[in-house]
Amino acid sequence: MIIVTGGAGFIGSNIVAALEKAGKKDIVVCDTLGTDDKWRNIAKRELCAVVPPDDLFDYMEGHEEEIEAVVHMGAISATTETDADLIIQTNFSLSLWLWNFCAAYDKQFIYASSAATYGDGALGFDDNPELEHVNALRPLNAYGWSKALFDRKVAREVKEGRPTPPQFAGLKFFNVYGPNEYHKGGQKSVVAHIFPKVKANEPVELFKSYHPDYADGWQLRDFVWVGDCVNVVLWLLDNPQVSGLFNVGAGEARSFYDLAKSTFAALGFPEKITYKEMPEQLRGKYQYYTKADLTRLRAAGYTAPMTTLEEGVRQYVQDFLNKEDSYL
């Protein structure tokens, strides 16, 4: 049995689909489905159970023997969320309970950290797991802070020799895009946001730059295809000897202009791009450059190539966004 928290969410539902394809029979999704179409993210899957977050502890404590691994993707992932109490309850306290459970019962534990832990990138994008390093990072929002707080807790547990799960891996996801993100509203990837206009062959708007080193639309991000994130998770489950904190990105910094151009190209259209003012509340908390350093992941033994931006966007547009059924 594998527990996937956030299993009806974006990355989580892609992991669930991959686990099913790999032949895993007992997959448990822990998530809230709400009243929108989020349920469609898991509608094609054969599941052992769908457990509400409030019932998760009781469920797991009744299935200690059957559980093989916990893949913890559940979180409040909105960088604009301001309810810090809710963020801590969901992103830190739940993570700590799952850590303790997996340590007590010798279960594999893979969890989602975030590139948001790096803040403005002034200290680089080194996924050094040492306590001194993770303590020095300064995220720009409460979401990033909550993820960094748990990374720091893990680093403290390891440094002081306290009990740990037999395998523990924190994954610092960068800018992930791909199918099943449609429920995320304003937090969807730029590809998903601009696709309707691209399909209509209308101009799309990107943010202007407020940094002298970056032209409008040439702010740089590490855009990573969700399938690559899933492949890393499955590789870790197959390699329980690997533990640590790992960046998960494409390993390239590409512009939003490149992303928009690739979206138009996927439908055979020339790009039509204009620029708009960035909201005031974002200007002081905006990352102009991110790039995943994959050195530690490669050193751990992960050798699969990462999908290029052009190929990832092509797959997303042609195989999902431009289909009547856009769900995985």
Active site residues: 143, 184
245 phi, psi to nearest 5 deg: -115, 125
Q: At 161, give phi and psi (nearest 5°).
A: 70, 25
Helix axes 309-316, 256-266, angle to 10 degrees: 50
224, containing H or E segment: strand 223-225
SS3 246: strand
Question: For residues 126 and 133, what is the distance between their CA atoms, to the nearest angstrom?
Answer: 9
- If one counts every other C-beta atom within 10 angstroms of the C-beta of residue 245, the result is 25
Instruction: Count other Cβ atoms within 10 Å, centred on residue 132.
Output: 9
Phi, psi torsion values for 169, nearest 5 degrees: -140, 120
Contact status, residue 28 vs residue 47, Cβ threshold 8 Å: yes
Residue 217 burial (CB count, 10 A):
20
| Cα→Cα distances 103→64, 276, 324, Å | 12, 49, 44
151-168 burial, b for 16+ CB within 10 Å, e for fewer?
bbbbbebbeeeeebbebb
* Torsion angles phi and psi, residue 163, rounded to 5: -60, 140
Angstrom distance (rounded) from CA 133 to CA 124: 11
* 3-class secondary structure, 217: coil
The residues near 127 (Cβ < 8 Å, ≥ 6 apart) are 172, 244, 245, 246, 247, 293, 296, 297
Q: Cα–Cα distance between 276 and 193 in angstroms, integer?
A: 15
